[in-house]
Amino acid sequence: MDSSMMFISVSESILQNDINRILNEDTTASVLKFKSLVIDKQRVDCTIFFKSNAFITRYSYVEKRSALLVIIDKVFSNIVQAQEYYDEADLILHAKFRV
């Protein structure tokens, strides 16, 4: 059973590189893994971090049509589920970008 919560945010003023810098400067968060992927010609930053007793997997990318930064945070209670979601980024987002 998946006991996660998902939060989706968009921003027209924060840049993709800014979101990574902000997370790295947050003293209450610990970045555990980071990778940048190119999925269907779209750059996606994927991060796992630990904050407030939760493991969070984050995907961030600039939506091509609107030029808005999209941030998808999925919150898990354990690292195993967060790692699985992190590892599946290309499969999950490939389907979204093909629409």
- Here the tokens at position 43 are 């750059």
The owner of tokens 């609107």 is 66
Boundaries of domain holding 79: 5-97
- Structural domains in the chain (count): 1
pLDDT tens sequence across 25-47: 999 999 999 999 999 889 999 99
The owner of tokens 């996606």 is 44
pLDDT higher than 60, residue 1: no
Q: At what angle do helices 89-97 and 79-87 cross, to 10 degrees?
A: 50
Q: Read off the CATH number of the domain in which 59 is found.
A: 3.40.1000.10
- The whole-model pTM stands at 0.90
Of residues 29, 10, 27, the one with CA closest to residue 67: 10
